[in-house]
Amino acid sequence: MTTFNRRTFLASTTAATVALASRCTVRAAEANDTVNLAIMGANNRGSQLATSILKIPGFRIAYIADCDARCLEKGIAAATTTGQSAPQGIKDFRKALDDKTVDALVVAAPNHWHAAATILALAAGKHVYCEKPCSHMPDEGERMIAAAHDAQRVVQVGLQRRSNPHYVEAAQKLREGALGRILYARSTYNNRRPSISNSKPTAPPTQLDYDLWQGPALAEPYRDNVIPYNWHNFWKWGNAEIGNNGVHTIDVVRWFMGVDFPTRVIATGSKLRFPEDDAQTPDTCNVTWQFGDRSMDWSGINWSPAVGDEAGIFMEVRGEDGILTVNDSGYKIYDMMRKLKHEQSGHRTEIEHITNFLGAIRTGEKLNCDLHEGHKSAMLCHLANIAYRTGQPLEIDPSTGHIKNNAEAQKLWSTEYRSGWFPNT
């Protein structure tokens, strides 16, 4: 296992950033070499990513790994096309890490596996495409950055809007001063999710290796309302809606504002729609991050859909000279008299983001969302969840993202792992 060097993270952020985007190589050293992938987690994002990866010349999916036999079949089907042999299906992704012909691991498992799987892959000399949020706990991001620095491998975080052309263009417009000095931004996520109900005592289904699914998380009895999706609603495995879908828009507005870690975080919320079910996380949440003299908000409601212009996701940036609104269909820029000055249509896919990952492996192309950027956006979600869970505003050191002078909040900075499952535990 790689040794975690936290001094690298805290003392030399710039050097580590260069290392993450450096021209490092594994087996696929030449620009025309095929990059062999293993995909960990196949039920939802893994199968979606497999479908997208098949559209990009230069990749070969060698393995699909999932501890649920039904999901494994789904993933193999998604990763199989006419003219290309089906990938090998395996239960434990670590078997793929032992294969010297595998160049990279795609981590699409539940959040509590993201850091451990990434660090194990880096220690095995693999590049990594890690789904959002890149970490489950705040300290894990720092461990991941140190591991990537030591391994000199590429790690792309799956915040794919950073590679979509209309988002890239909007960011450039803001850098050029389209709104003047930016003071405020907000984003929203609304959805209509059903209750997760209450669990019943039962044994895990035979097709599921529940021990492997739990992995680094401390073991607890199986619940029949957690897998395959509702783990997002439990703190042991997920990060609430803000760390599920909220992180996408939070990342975009943080990028647009050009900010890193906040100085203060306030979060309020509750379970309003289904207060009696087993979900531990809020279904309604409002967060404010202060960045010195600037501010950013996020609001999420996962029991009631949005209507009108803010349907689904919505982002807004306000500067001294204008306003920008953006979603997956495009962006608009208005002056302070609400006159439309510029409009650009767009789309959202993950093809560009995965292609950028391929370019970084082959030629050292700059990553659009390396671990440093992914960590900063994940930290906004982690800090918001800690503020919500403690019921206290948090004062933050903006140079590191660390919580200041709050022993209760600091208890939620890290977690305990099962022995032998998380590197160096």
What pLDDT is attached to residue 200? 87
pLDDT digits (tens, 9 = 90+) for 31-64: 568 999 999 999 999 999 999 999 999 999 999 9
Instruction: Give residue limits of the domains in the chain.
Output: 6-162+352-370, 164-197+221-348+380-410
| Amino acid found at 142 | E
Q: What does the angle CA 327 – CA 330 – CA 332 come to, to the nearest 5 degrees?
A: 95
Sign of CA dihedral 156, 134, 298, 183: negative
Strand runs labelled E in 214-350 = 264-270, 284-291, 294-301, 313-319, 322-327, 330-335, 340-345
What pLDDT is attached to residue 425? 59
Q: Which two tokens stand for residue 410?
A: 């600091």
> Alpha helix locations (H) across 244-292?
247-257
Beta carbons of 8 and 151 less than 8 angstroms apart = no
Please identify every stretch of the chain with a pLDDT value under 50, giving residue numbers as ranges.
1-26, 29
pLDDT digits (tens, 9 = 90+) for 15-37: 444 444 444 444 554 556 899 99
Could you please state the CATH topology (level 3) that the domain comprising 164-197+221-348+380-410 is classified under: Dihydrodipicolinate Reductase; domain 2 (3.30.360)
What pLDDT is attached to residue 424? 79
- DSSP notation for 142-163: HHHHHHHHHHT--EEES-GGGG
- DSSP notation for 196-207: -------PPPTT
What pLDDT is attached to residue 386? 98
What pLDDT is attached to residue 12? 39
Tell me how far apart the alpha carbons of residues 379 and 370 are, in angstroms, rounded to a whole number. 14
The CATH architecture assigned to 6-162+352-370 reads 3-Layer(aba) Sandwich (3.40)
